Amino acid sequence: MQAFYDGLVHGELVAATLASMLRLLVSFALSLAIGTTLGFLFARYRLLDDTLGFLVVSLQTIPSIAWLPFAIIWFGLNESSVIFITTLGATWTMALASRTGIKNIPPIYLRAAQTMGTGNGFRLFVQIMIPAAFPHLINGVRTAWAFAWRALVAGELIAKGAGLGQLLQDGRNLGDTSLMLCIVIIIAVLGTVSDHFCFKKLEDKVLERYGLAGSKS
């Protein structure tokens, strides 16, 4: 409690939390866009799924911290390295989730949409595929959010400037276990609260809108 109080009064915890959240949101948005696009391509094109799709499965098994030396060489000790590592941490999970969701869309949905003039392009993807694949997508989003947090803290261990990971590193260097425990609690609370009040609420609303609430597992 004393460590929390000191961190709040001096502003260290607030500044570190805001800096980490900004990096996380940027990286998470990138991972959602890249991962969903890759998943769509894997689901629609067999050749890509058999080649790059297999590679994505392999990449998902690699811990985000393993990319840290590459990030330092390619980008240096800066924001770009942290965003790179955090984006990688969530992208592969999102790609596999969107691939699974789109592949499990009942073909009758697509045929009905095409018969009604939706076509095969962007409208079909946005109006039919995304809603139909949403149960899988939201699970991927929630898992990707957790993986992004893990990758963020790993990346911030070497980043310059404020951040929860950097503050955790400072606590380790000082042997301050109270400060380190504060960081762990903050990360756990932020992750749980954001999942419950953001992603869980979004899932419930979308499932209810499309009449899938009764089938949610």
Q: Tokens 């790179």 belong to which residue?
A: 84
182's CB contacts (< 8 A; 6+ apart) are 3, 4, 7, 13
Which residue matches tokens 């998470």? 28
Q: Residue 69 CA to chain centroid, in angstroms?
A: 21
User: Mean pLDDT over residues 36-53, rounded?
Assistant: 84
Here the CATH number for the domain that contains residue 15 is: 1.10.3720.10
Q: Residue 7: inside a domain, yes or no?
A: yes
Tokens found for residue 42: 């894997």
- Domain annotation covers residue 48: yes
217 falls within a domain: no
**What does the pLDDT look like over 9-28, one tens digit per residue?**
777 888 888 988 999 999 99
- Looking at the chain, the whole-number percentage of residues with pLDDT higher than 70 is 91
**In-domain check, residue 47:** yes
Q: In angstroms, rounded to a whole number, what is the distance separating the alpha carbons of residues 59 and 96?
A: 11
**Residue 100 is assigned to a structural domain of this protein:** yes
The residues near 215 (Cβ < 8 Å, ≥ 6 apart) are: 135, 207
Whole-number pLDDT of residue 214: 54
CA–CA gap between residue 13 and residue 167 (Å, rounded): 8
Which SS3 state, helix, strand or coil, does residue 158 take? coil
**185: in domain:** yes
Domain count, the chain: 1
Smallest CA-to-CA distance from 144 within 39, 19, 6 is with: 39
Q: What is the pLDDT of residue 157?
A: 79
Q: How many residues in the chain? A: 217
Contact 152, 27 (CB under 8 A): yes
**Terminal CA-to-CA distance of the chain, rounded, Å?**
39
Which two tokens mark 167? 């503050």
pLDDT at 213: 59
Which residues lie closer than 8 Å to 121 by C-beta, 6 or more apart? Answer: none
Structural domain containing residue 173? 2-211
Q: Contact, 162 vs 156, CB < 8 A? A: no
148 alpha carbon, distance to own chain's centre:
5
- Per-residue CA distances from 76 to 82, 83, 166 (Å): 10, 12, 16
- What does the mean pLDDT of the chain come to? 82
The backbone torsions φ and ψ at residue 211, rounded to the nearest 5 degrees and listed phi first, read: 70, 30
In this prediction the pTM is 0.80
The answer to whether position 216 is within a domain reads no
